[in-house]
Amino acid sequence: MAKPRHSRLDCNPGCAVEATLRLIDGKWKGVILFHLLDGTARFNAIRRRIPGVTPRMLTNQLRELEQDGLILRQVYAEVPPRVEYSLTERGRSLAPVLEALRSWGDANLALFGAAPPPPAVAAA
């Protein structure tokens, strides 16, 4: 890798949580990783699965994921160009994390609108 990208973490307990978060955070990374769990995909294929992402952002996020060793970028020297993205072993090892995130989301965010909390107890 070129630069660490991840500035500095004040390593308390909980540091590992933050560190992991940094890797999968970033507006599209979660979705990208999640889709790649299904298998290898090409740039525009991923793009089509994520409405709203611009090529610039998609490239950006993919490169960061690659830098972090989570995905593999396979370039085939063909014409027309073909580039395939897939999870590395390390990326695939995130599956339980992603699954935990997804299932919590499913259970707790009715859909995504965030209808948050059942009222809290009174006390004082």
Q: Which of 42, 50, 83, 92 touches a second copy by CB under 8 A?
A: 50
Q: Which does 122 bind (CB under 5 to 8 A by kind): DNA, a second copy, none?
A: none
CA distances from 6 to 1, 20, 76, 95, 106 (A): 12, 11, 30, 22, 30
Helix, strand, or coil here: 17?
Answer: helix
φ and ψ at 59, to 5 degrees?
A: -55, -50
User: Is the alpha carbon torsion for 98, 100, 8, 92 positive or negative?
Assistant: negative
Q: Quick check: 53 binds DNA (CB under 7 A)?
A: yes
Q: Which of 42, 49, 57, 60 touches a second copy by CB under 8 A?
A: 49
Nearest CB to DNA, comparing residues 53 and 94 = 53
| Alpha carbons 107 and 47: distance in angstroms, whole number | 27
- Beta carbon of residue 16, minimum distance to DNA (angstroms, whole number): 18
Nearest CB to DNA, comparing residues 78 and 89 = 78
Q: Which does 123 bind (CB under 5 to 8 A by kind): a second copy, DNA, none?
A: a second copy
Q: What part of residues 51-90 is at the interface with a second copy (CB under 8 A)?
A: 51-52, 67-69, 72, 74-77, 88-90
Q: Which residues bind DNA (CB under 7 A)?
A: 26-27, 42-45, 52-57, 59-63, 73, 80-84
